[in-house]
A and B are shown apart, each in its own frame.
Chain A
Amino acid sequence: MSLTTASRLARAALAFAAALACASAAAQNMTVTLTTPTPPIANAVTQAVPSSLFVDVKNTRTTTMNEIGFQTPYPATGGAGPAGWALQALYPSNGGTIVAFQVTTCGQGGLANGQTGTFRIDMTPNVSPSPSQDTTDPLPVMVYGAPCGGSVRWKQVTSSYPRKVLAMTAVASPLLGPAPLTTTVTFNVTNRSTSTYSGIALTGLTITPSAGTSSSCSPATLTLAPNASSAFTCTVTLPSAGTSYTVAAGARSGNGSASAVGATAGPILVGSATATFAFDKLAVRSGDVVRATLTVTNGSGAAIDVTPPTYPQLALTSTLTPVSGAANPAAVSGLASGQSASFVYAFTVTGAVGASYAATGSASTTAGSTPPATTPSGTISAWQVTWAPGFLVKSRATAPYGFSVTVKNGAQDAITQVSIVNPNAGWTNLRHGTVTNSGGSSLAYGSGDGSGTLVYDTGTIPQNGSAKLAFTFAAAPNDAETTPYTFQVVVTNTYLATVTYPFTVLNEVPIPEVSNVSVLSDASGQTLYWANTSGVGAGSAHDGVVVLRAAAPSVPSFPVDGVDYAGSTTVAYADDFGSTVTSLVDNAPGAYNYRICNHDAALVYSDCNGGLWNGAGWIDSAAAPAGGWTHTVGQSLFLRPGLVPGGNVGFASNAPALHLLAGATGARTLGPSPLGALPAVGTPALPLSNGRQILFAADSAGTVTAVDLQSGATYWQVTKAGESFVAGVAAVLRQYAGASFQALYATDVLLLASTTGSLLALDATTGATLWTVAAGAELRALPLYDYAKNWVFAPTFGGGIVAYDLSGAVPPVAAAGWTNPGGTYTVGCTFADVATQATCVDRTGNIRVLDRSTGAVVATGTFTGTGTPSSVWKVGGGLVVGSGSAVQAFTVSGATFISNGTYSPGVTLSPVEVFQSPAPGAVYVGGSDLKLHKLRLDTLAEVGSVTVTSQLAGAVLGPPVYDVTLDVFVFGASDGRLWAVPAF
């Protein structure tokens, strides 16, 4: 304590003594009674134990009471008044303490005539010597001043209260579990008297709520010598899931001379799922916002779905109001047993100083409702103490790490001391910086520089003044995930009333990026999509996003940590308070660049500087083509989409994922389905025999994914361990197969070629492996199923073409009579003009027509365009072969293929898509000149094109698919953009 503070306290004590003398001569104008307790807990104190006493004061005078003092016979430690009142001072007096309370604002909260207020007085009756039995202490109560004007002539009233000599505690174990829960409650009793007592028994054992409960306690009685302790053990059975129980009891000696205040165990939470509820701040000023986190823990033994309460379903004190616009927390599906999920609520606190705030809620789960969980009670304070920032992002900061504490005084008595306390290891070398005073404040640094506590005890902060204290830490912990640390700010006023404010500072590892970002551009503007994600650990839950926008080619800026952009016109969009929003409509057609950044409740933003097609964390819109749309997923698209005409269009990206859009509008239907690795080339959309339209994709991690094109749901996903698929998925549709196939296979069958050399057959409806055969060489080309012969031809990478007969056995055996023609293949074979022949093109461009029974070569030719063939199309009387640099059309004449023309525009080309009707037919091919080219099928002369845009120099377009119902072509691009353009 500084000399200044000590002198101020001495003057105050003298003034108070004078006031007591005057008060004793006045008429009695109040009644003082002990607040009625709730049995079995008594309203009393316990010898040598920190205790709280509750006292009701009724004003019977016409003058409003704005100040009051309670004289305890031994040191008191604190207390609380009714709403509008604050603990003003603890005056040392006659070996005890005068506990003084005062309204914080004149005209608010004072006790008018007939009104009663309840005061809590905290004290520890360390009376020596101890009594031999229960006793009674006096409680003089006086009004010693009129801080708001009026008479000070109040008559002192002396009440009294019991002091018990049996100290008692209660604990339960376990504190939670599924119904019915049997728990053990231990009541420990200590004799604080100087006498030995026998026959001590539990009194008034009370289980709340009591319905259906049972209990059994032992022993029946205890005998305790002075300062001896022993325990009663009660086995309690609690029947009802979704219920929060307490178990309470008192204790009394056989002769009744010694007793206990009583003790309560609990809350004991019964249910397969349980919940806790906690505020981030327990002392705030009226108007401040607090967040409450409901944490639900799954103890059911199986995964559960959790639906948190909505704001209207919470029970709130009148001092809490949901923050305007705050969204109800989203439900969580599939919460694993033993895991917890957190749900955040935001409230504005309003009310008089001293008023409390609390919230209660229960979550619904598929294992039943959780017992109601209630937050600890917070208190509205006259002092406003803030710590900023509430986080440290070490990855974005350099040491020393700076913080500040701002103290504003809204009370009449001046603040004389502020201490900043660091109890945390890892945060080192706390150093004083600067003090910024305002409003008449003169607070200055005192001591502690470089230690764990900084003390500012020179000067004061008067009413309506404030002081901002800046300080630093030389180092902070290296945490792998966001970790909270609690610091304390201790504030003391003129009369040594002290309040400790805890502050949680998050050592932040930034939250992960939002996922599944995409942007639809159409004639009306843009629709942005994303999925909210959360990180690991406390403080890493998604709270909201900010969307920053810049006209292309400018790149959007980055958000600043700690800044709440909600409502700001400087950004395209921002939200917080646990927002579940996952899309944004921006009615600004054209080319814009967007940066969508995730943030946690501390408003620390994700890095949002990496990923997507540019590796820089932003995604773009583009002017939509007339009569069409464009939708970017920001991840490379090389593969041909699959679609249901007039319905959804699905496509695989290098995210890697399968995406689904509405073909007519380009709108995202359901979120992407992740793949295990980069997708294989062939991703067909197939009409299965069961009526479902399924998009299939395989990938280089051996995962095969089936997505229902109509519902958007994942049909199934399996992983074939050790396999790697490059070619994609081929199929046998059972309804078109012959009797020999149908006799052995009950469903449609998928054929997958693995680079391990394995050829797999999968049940198309489940993904189950039907058989696997070893082809003898790597497989990097699609197999071809011969519906007439019931054979499968598998072109290998260096091992020629192997054939299997599916008619005789499972797994199939090598086809009889087939002679392997040799070769290395990366594209699959196709049929030929003759029904019994197949056409295959090897990696060097050699074209061979094979007899499908013998493997004999019946015709040959050569693809003369540069590059490895990427697509082969059989057309009437000829063939079309494409590569990354050329397209070549052939007619077959006898045993020879004759070139009709080559299209080689000097740009990188996609695999081709061929239409034989209407005559003369057309070839569509995408180019790195950002054009979808239309070529005559017979001569490959270019007859049309449509041009798209990209911000990626050198972007290539993928092969198109045609929607016959919508009459549009749909194709992707390596910059992640899917285009839908009217057919031409």
Chain B
Amino acid sequence: MRTLAAFASIALALAACEQKGAPPATSTAAASLRVVDDAGRPGPFALGPLRRLHLDASVPAAPGPHTVRIDVFRPDGGVHASLTATAEAGPDGVAALRQTLEVAGSPIEQYHLVGTWSFALKVDGGPQLATARAALGD
């Protein structure tokens, strides 16, 4: 009987937890991922003058911290890197994050990895929310 009472208490507590508070607001805007250079220009990019690429992600999300992951794919289709960082969504329900991919002097330049690079955005281990492509040439 004590066991049953305990279970009943647990069930009530869980129900109470479920009912407290309203769902946090999230933006209705779609997730986006942009690739730009230092001047904010989108591609195509030329390897010669390019110093770095900025990957700007914006995601509708409940206020609070979120894990934002951007998978970077080389022109050969292999994963170059998975750039992961925490982004804080504000009261507006948007989490924004900039990741930087150095180019000049890096293996991208050393190995002359020109072609079409692609990028995929994921948040909190969920499905792919946005993609981007960037042409990198000489």
Which positions in A face B, CB cutoff 8 Å? 50, 52, 77-78, 122, 282, 376-377, 379, 395, 423-426, 477-478, 480, 484-486, 488, 500, 502, 509-510, 512, 607, 610-615, 635-636, 638-639, 654, 656, 677-678, 681, 700, 724, 726-727, 755, 778, 780-781, 797, 826-827, 867-868, 870, 883-885, 908-911, 952-956, 974-975
Contacts and interface: CB of A to CB of B under 8 A. Distances in A.
A567 to B, nearest CB: 29
Given A395-B126, A607-B125, A780 B74 contact: no
B15 A424 contact: yes
Nearest to B4: A500
Contacts of B74: 974
Interface string B19-61: 1000100000000000000000000000110011000000000
A230 B102 CA distance: 73
A956 B10 CA distance: 58
B111 A884 contact: yes
Contacts of A614: 78-79
A654 B125 contact: no
A502 B81 CA distance: 46
B135 interface: no
Closest 4 CB pairs of A and B: A884-B112, A954-B76, A780-B105, A826-B105
A910 B74 CA distance: 16
A855 to B, nearest CB: 22
A955 B76 contact: yes
B7 to A, nearest CB: 4
Contact of B78 (A425, A636, A726): A636
A954 to B, nearest CB: 3
10 contacts: A423-B11, A425-B15, A426-B18, A502-B11, A614-B78, A654-B80, A677-B83, A797-B105, A870-B111, A954-B76
* Majority DSSP secondary structure for residues of B touching A: mixed
B112 A883 contact: yes
Contact of A726 (B62, B71, B102): B102
B104 A726 contact: yes
A78 B5 CA distance: 13
B59 to A, nearest CB: 14
A485 B100 contact: no
Given A700-B100, A952-B76, 15 more contacts: A78-B1, A122-B1, A376-B3, A485-B18, A486-B10, A502-B11, A638-B111, A726-B106, A727-B105, A826-B105, A867-B112, A884-B110, A910-B111, A952-B77, A953-B76
Nearest to A724: B102
B1 A50 contact: yes
Contacts of B10: 486, 502
Contact of A681 (B79, B106, B122, B126): B106
Contacts of B1: 50, 52, 77-78, 122
A781 B104 CA distance: 10
A780 B83 CA distance: 21
B7 A502 contact: yes
Interface of B: 1, 3-4, 6-7, 10-12, 14-15, 18-19, 23, 47-48, 51-52, 62, 71, 73-83, 100-102, 104-107, 109-113, 122, 124-127
B38 to A, nearest CB: 11
Nearest to A427: B18
A654 B81 contact: yes
Contact of B105 (A122, A377, A426, A726): A726
B9 to A, nearest CB: 10
Contact of A377 (B3, B15, B107, B112): B3
A700 B73 CA distance: 18
Contacts of A424: 11, 14-15, 18
Contacts of A425: 15, 18-19
Contact of A678 (B48, B73, B102): B102
A862 to B, nearest CB: 17
B81 A656 contact: yes
A953 B105 CA distance: 24
Contacts of A908: 111-113
A826 B100 contact: no
A510 B126 CA distance: 10
Contacts of A755: 51-52, 102
Contacts of A910: 110-111
Nearest to B114: A884
Contacts of B73: 615
A605 B45 CA distance: 41
A259 B104 CA distance: 87
Query: Which of A77, A638, A975 neighbours the largest number of chain B CB atoms within 10 Å of its CB?
Result: A638
Nearest to B79: A615
A868 B110 contact: yes
Given A611-B82, A953-B76, A638 B107 contact: yes
A376 B9 CA distance: 14
B114 to A, nearest CB: 9
Query: Which of B51, B111, B124, B125 neighbours the largest number of chain A CB atoms within 10 Å of its CB?
Result: B111
Nearest to A502: B7
Contacts of A488: 7, 11
Query: Which of B6, B107, B112 neighbours the largest number of chain A CB atoms within 10 Å of its CB?
Result: B107
B81 A638 contact: no
Contact of B112 (A395, A611, A726, A885): A885
A911 B80 contact: no
Contacts of B124: 480
Contacts of A423: 11-12, 14-15
Contacts of A512: 125
Given A607-B125, A615-B71, A638 B79 contact: no
Contacts of A780: 51, 104-105
Contacts of A911: 110
A500 B124 CA distance: 37
B51 A778 contact: yes
Contacts of B101: 678
B78 A975 contact: yes
Contacts of B80: 636, 654
Contacts of B79: 611-615, 635-636
A678 B81 contact: yes
A142 B97 CA distance: 76
Nearest to A975: B78
Given A424-B15, A607-B125, A974 B112 contact: no
Contact of A486 (B7, B78, B105, B107): B7
Nearest to A612: B79
Nearest to A926: B111
A488 B19 CA distance: 19
Given A611-B82, A654-B80, A484 B7 contact: no
Query: Which of B10, B101, B102 neighbours the largest number of chain A CB atoms within 10 Å of its CB?
Result: B102
Contacts of A379: 3
A638 to B, nearest CB: 4
Contact of B107 (A426, A610, A639): A639
